[in-house]
Amino acid sequence: MRVLFTTFEGGGHVPAPLLAAAALRDLGHDVLIVSDSCNAPAAEAKSLPFKSWRRAPDRGALGAASGGLSDWKTRWPPAVIRRICVDVATGPAAAYAQDTLEFAAEFEPDVIVSNELLFGVMMAAEKRGTPLALLTANLWCFPTREDVPPFGPGYTLAKSQSDLARDAVTRKLIRKFFDAGLPDLNVARAQVGLSPLLHTLDQLDVARRILIGASAAFDFDVAESSGRYAYCGPLFETPNWADGTAEMPDNGRPNVLISFGTTFQDQKSVLLRTMAAVETLPINVIVTLGPALADAKMPQIANVRVLAQASHDDIVPQCAAVICHGGHGTVLRPLKHGVPLVVMPMGRDHADNAARLEWLGAGVRLSERASSCQIKRALVQVLDDARYRENAQRFAKRLSDCDVSSRRAADWIASLVRTDQVLAA
């Protein structure tokens, strides 16, 4: 079997396809990764064949302010979705489609596996008639399901008829917001010889399987598989650039990690407020900046150690709590180790991850605009109340009982080819 994987530089978007591709390669299948050129080292570290985009946007640096998504510049939901459309989903759809058609002609894949935001890749699969799977690195972000709350607002699971009505109205609104990208999408479809669509999200219908790189237990404990949706468990690992290690002081004080992600979201202000919040507490703190803030100057605080990069897999098991923005990988790593969190959502999937964290009882959600006093109070609450750690440890046990995520994703992808062969027979 030959599998073409497509993604783009978006921080957590990249490890999921690399892990799935490596699992398929280890099973004897041929794979090819296509992404931005800055992701080549990550693919090479796994000895995976890699090519960068030709016409489509090709980011050369990790975490840059000018990177793949500019949604951080606004908080108004219609404007956020419009930026996602312009930046990735529909604005460059024609370029992504043309590139994918070329790569597919050269590689001749049996299956195409794509990031869920690359609508141009979906068009190429549709044009070729090649089975398509979408592989997410987090929760499903489109309003096409009714078993979980609509993505974006950070709603908790519906408990009443009014909650269900809220969810239904929100799904309709989000679908309408995405139609801002419909003109670009239909122009791109015409360029590759496809008929126009009535709504932007109709493009998702071409996907035969949607593989969610998250735990069903985390996503309000929904079914592992329903229709074309299937959970593969969290698909993340230590980035190849995060090669530093950090030993925490052995002074009997609790250790706390602060991290606000790898992609640029103008996070310096909230990071500075968080550092000020911990300055007077009897704790040891490590701050990891990541590529987005690697060159930023930070204040010197006695109980705070600032690192440009370090492995969270090494640091988190030593910690009593984590303060973060709420990115999927940054939340799931602590939970994997039974460590509770304080989460300050800044957009994207953050509010939805925070809602699930609160549902688990394994952390506290604050506004990204929270003051240093509010952050300090929330951290003390999480450190002093043992129930947060107990709930985090209970969820960690559930995660440890899951199948190996990358192998599960590989099996689902392979099943697409088997199904296609049966239908063709």
Average pLDDT per consecutive 10 residues, the chain (425 residues; last block may be shorter):
95 89 96 97 96 94 58 69 95 98 98 98 98 96 96 94 97 98 98 99 98 95 92 77 67 93 77 95 93 80 89 91 94 96 92 97 96 98 98 93 75 81 47
pLDDT for 267: 79
Delimit the domains of the chain by residue range. 2-233+403-424, 255-400
pLDDT for 407: 83
* Start-to-end CA span in the chain (Å): 17
pLDDT for 136: 96
The CATH homologous superfamily to which domain 2-233+403-424 belongs is Glycogen Phosphorylase B; (3.40.50.2000)
- Distances from the Cα of 339 to the Cα of 278, 320, 336, 394, angstroms: 18, 6, 8, 10
Helix axes 93-107, 119-128, angle to 10 degrees: 50
* Amino acid at site 317: P
pLDDT for 408: 85
| Closest among 261, 217, 5 to 132, alpha carbons compared | 5
Strands 229-231 and 225-226, by their bridges, are: antiparallel
Q: What is the CATH number of domain 255-400?
A: 3.40.50.2000
Distance CA 187, CA 343 (A): 40
Distance CA 355, CA 195 (A): 39
The two domains 2-233+403-424 and 255-400 share their CATH topology (first three levels equal): yes
The CB density around residue 281, as the number of other CB atoms within 10 Å, is 16
Burial class (CB in 10 A: 0-12, 13-18, 19+), 153: middle
